[in-house]
Amino acid sequence: MEEIINVLEDYEGVTLYDYRVIFPSINKKQRNFLIDHFHEYAWNVGLSIAQCFVTTMPKTGLLGAFKNNVADIEFVFKSSKPYEDKDQIEWTESDLVDLLDTRLVGKEQFFSNIYYSGEDLENNKPKFFDQHGYEYDVIIDKYSSIIKVNITDKEQ
């Protein structure tokens, strides 16, 4: 994995939560856009990212250099904001500042801005994993949403 953000010293003494986002079938251009997108949202008012890693694109030989090389790309990051899986109608003023939920979904937030990127990611089906390891399906659209995957859904 490649480290793309490291400002751990700015978060010394602060509780950090571990998250993962997996974008399936991403090409190199889309991966580069997503790396930039994580950087844009890394600040305290955004996702408050202390450290972030991303998987690398698979190597291709000379014959594979002209193919549309795609891979599932995983971002692993540490944030000072907890994720609580709260419905938007339940958000309080302090939640807007303190919770990761409020920066991931909603108009003009992390996932909804991917929808408007022009990088052909609006039909991508990312997976988000919270600090407890729970899996969520991400819907990328104007407002975006994160839906918890039930264990029974996985078994079917």
CB count within 10 Å of CB 66 equals 8
Q: Domain containing 114: what range?
A: 2-155
pLDDT at 155: 47
Tokens coding 6: 């490291």
* Mean pLDDT, rounded, for 134-148: 93
| Residue 77 CB burial class (10 angstroms; 0-12, 13-18, ≥19) | buried
- In the predicted structure, residue 112 carries a pLDDT above the cut 70: yes
pLDDT tens string 41-59: 999 999 999 999 999 887 7
pTM of the predicted model as reported, rounded to 2 decimal places:
0.88
Structural domain total, the chain:
1
Q: Which amino acid is at 151?
A: I
